[in-house]
Amino acid sequence: MEQVRVHARGIEQNVLVSGPADGPPVLMIHGNCSSADFWRPLLGHLPPNLRIVAPDLRGYGATDAAPVDATRGLRDFADDVAALLERPELFPAGARPLVVAHSMGCGVAMQLLVDRPDRINALLLEAPLSPYGFGGTRDLVGTPTTDDFAGTGAGTANPDFVARLRAKDRGGDEPTSPRSVMRTAYVADPASLGADEELLLDTVLSTAIGDDNYPGTSVTSPHWPGVGPGDRGVLNTMAPNNFRIADALVAVTPKPHITWVRGDRDAIVSDTSFFDLSYLGSIGVVPGWPGAEASPPQPMVGQTRAVFDRYAQAGGAYREVVYAGCGHSPHIERPAEFVAELLDLVGAA
């Protein structure tokens, strides 16, 4: 595995590369509060003939902390990744890689599919962000506003967690420390982190902090809990007024196969997510919740399944794979099973 520096779209991107240039191409897109190194524990389980290309997204790892325009949804990230498809030092001309993505990275992969469907062979989506964004629960008429999505975006980030990220805190005693969050939210069983825990914590701590990156800006809202998404920064890219890709995903042609992998104990992407303020309000953890009619919890898994069903009805195909006792990171918690799904897609290609 080597690190390649690529200047594209005005920024320096750091890219992990391994395997022969003419091997089956696999593009790997990491999630929020991590980096390309989050894939490293998996790479030792993969055959050496694959051409692996895994970039650090802007503001993560060793890629430039360029500003993120949240009004474009996840397109800043997707456009950065799309530029890498044209780089001969990474991919042969016209390559159509299998795209493997995790969490927020799945939203980047969905956007890449919508924008460049001719360049994707298949998708392996691990614990994907809902196609309706993070906090999207309503079928709205017209253009959503920030007030429609109070309780989403950067204003919902735990300020102590953000401060500890900024300080690169490696402690594990406080529940808001990056290590504690990784142990409790990224996986179901912290023992699954094993000898890779420090490496994986490094990826979390590589997150650039600020209004232009993580978590971003917020605005006040007259609706509970009093904050809404701003127009800059990472968490606002996933707010449903900025990221609602369901219809575009269903309409895309051609439609590559999608394998959807998730754990049944995922604390982040779930119909009962501990990162959804409305769900937390509904169980009494966050005070003042105005009720399900005003602020319904988001059925993230149900939304994704409904969209993928529509995708299949429109001529595509998908398969849902659920691992029992697994959390948000199946490629760490169930590496052998995850690799089997990946190689099935490579073989089908």
349 pLDDT band (50/70/90 cuts)? low
**Quick one: average pLDDT of 233-260?**
96
Is the pLDDT assigned to residue 142 strictly greater than 70?
no
Is the pLDDT assigned to residue 32 strictly greater than 60?
yes
Percent of the chain with pLDDT over 70: 96
239 pLDDT band (50/70/90 cuts)? very high
**Quick one: average pLDDT of 56-63?**
98
141 pLDDT band (50/70/90 cuts)? very low
Identify the pLDDT of residue 158.
95
Q: Which two tokens stand for residue 144?
A: 């959503």
Choose the weakest-confidence range: 25-34, 77-86, 219-228.
219-228
Contacts of residue 19, defined as CB under 8 A and 6 or more positions apart, other chains included, come to 48, 49, 50, 51, 52
Cα–Cα separations (whole angstroms), residue 145 to 142, 158, 311: 9, 23, 27
Q: Which residue has the tokens 């023992």?
A: 191
| Model pTM score | 0.96
Is the pLDDT assigned to residue 66 strictly greater than 90?
yes
Identify the pLDDT of residue 126.
98
Contacts of residue 247, defined as CB under 8 A and 6 or more positions apart, other chains included, come to none
Cα–Cα separations (whole angstroms), residue 200 to 134, 271, 345: 24, 26, 26
Identify the pLDDT of residue 1.
86
Pairwise CA distance, residues 142 & 244, whole Å: 12
Instruction: Give the 3-state secondary structure of residue 54.
Output: strand
**Quick one: average pLDDT of 2-14?**
95
Choose the weakest-confidence range: 107-116, 144-153, 159-168, 308-317.
144-153
Nearest to 42 by CA among 16, 78, 80, 74: 16
Contact 193, 332 (CB under 8 A): yes
CA torsion through residues 161, 169, 55, 347, sign? negative
Identify the pLDDT of residue 148.
67
CA torsion through residues 15, 16, 18, 23, sign? negative
Is the pLDDT assigned to residue 143 strictly greater than 60?
no
Identify the pLDDT of residue 184.
97
Comparing 46 with 348, which gets the higher pLDDT?
46
Task: Say which amino acid occupies 16.
Answer: L
Is the pLDDT assigned to residue 146 strictly greater than 70?
no
Identify the pLDDT of residue 129.
96
65 pLDDT band (50/70/90 cuts)? very high
Is the pLDDT assigned to residue 44 strictly greater than 80?
yes
Identify the pLDDT of residue 80.
98
Is the pLDDT assigned to residue 206 strictly greater than 50?
yes
Identify the pLDDT of residue 95.
95
pLDDT digits (tens, 9 = 90+) for 306-338: 999 999 999 999 999 999 999 999 999 999 999
